[in-house]
Every structure is written in structure tokens, then in C-alpha cells.
Amino acid sequence: MRCKQKILALLLAVALLLAMSSTALADGEVCEMNGTKYLTLAEAVAAVPTNGTQTTITLLKDTTGNGVIVPSGKNIIFDLGWNVYTVDGTVGSSGTETNGFQLLKGSTVTFQNGTIKGGTAAKILIQNYANLTLKDVTLDAQGSTQCQYVCSNNCGTVDITGDTNI
């Protein structure tokens, strides 16, 4: 009888550990796209097709994460879900990784419904070569000691709509 109690206690402990670990994994997910959740914005961007199909990536909570490169041929709406994405880590062309977001030529990108904050590393919060729309979004580099440009436009168009603050 005592052996059965020990086995039952062990099984309950294992079940509790499994339940806690699955919750921890779910807590690490920061964004969602087409019903799939991702641990980083960069992972979600990599999964967006390059055939021009418009795809929405929704931020699920306030998040601090690395910068993101949007390659050519992507059509992405970053719906921040009224959350804050703080850029902590930079991206860019080899040898000049100073950008929070690098949006490459031939893409269409929208940031909407939330805030993008510059962390301490990015010199350019958004380096734009794409067709960019900023809609009801705040681009905030006030707390950044390194930021020289909030949004640099080198190619493509920039449409600023709604209640956007830069």
C-alpha cells in the first residue's frame, strides 16, 4: 500500500512540473501570426511569405527584444496591440548593425496600435527602404542615449496617419 502512495505522489509531482513548464513556455511567447505564437518578432517575420501576401503579426504583451530585419518581398502589419516593444539589440547591414528595425526595399510594412521604444543600442530606431505606414503608433527614442534618427527614409514612401507620435 505504501508503495502505491509513493508512486501516486511521484506521478502528481511530475504532472505538476509538466503543467508549470508548459505555462512558462506560453509566457515566453510575445507575438502571434495566423494562430501560431512566436518567442520573438524576428521568428514571426521569418515565417511571413515573400509573395506579397499581407500578414499581420500581433504583439501579445509589452516586450523587450532585439531589432528586426524585414527582408524584401514581405507585406507585414505589425499590430502592437496597444503594447510597447522596446528595442534592445540592433540589426543592419554587415558592419553597420545600428538599427532597431531595418525595412528593406520591396516590402510593405505597417506599424500600428502601440509604441516602439528605442533601447540603449539603436542609433536609428527605424531604417526604412520599404513602403511604410505609421498608424496610431508612437515612436519613442527619448530614453535612448544612442539614437540619432527615429525614422530614416531612404527609399519608398512613409504615410503617417491616425494618432501617430514621433
Please say if the pLDDT value at position 21 is more than 90: no
- How many angstroms separate the CA atoms of 53 and 120, rounded? 34
What is the percentage of the chain residues whose pLDDT exceeds 70? 84
Query: Per-residue DSSP letters for 123-148?
Result: SEEEEE-SEEEEEEEEEE-TT-SS-S
CB-based contacts of 41: which residues, under 8 Å, 6+ apart?
A: 30, 31, 57, 59, 63, 65, 68, 78, 85
What percentage of the chain carries pLDDT values higher than 90?
A: 73
Is residue 100 within 8 Å of 116, Cβ to Cβ?
yes
pTM of the model as a whole: 0.83
Which residue would you say has higher pLDDT here, 100 or 10? 100
Give me the pLDDT at residue 130, please: 97
Q: What is the pLDDT of residue 86?
A: 96
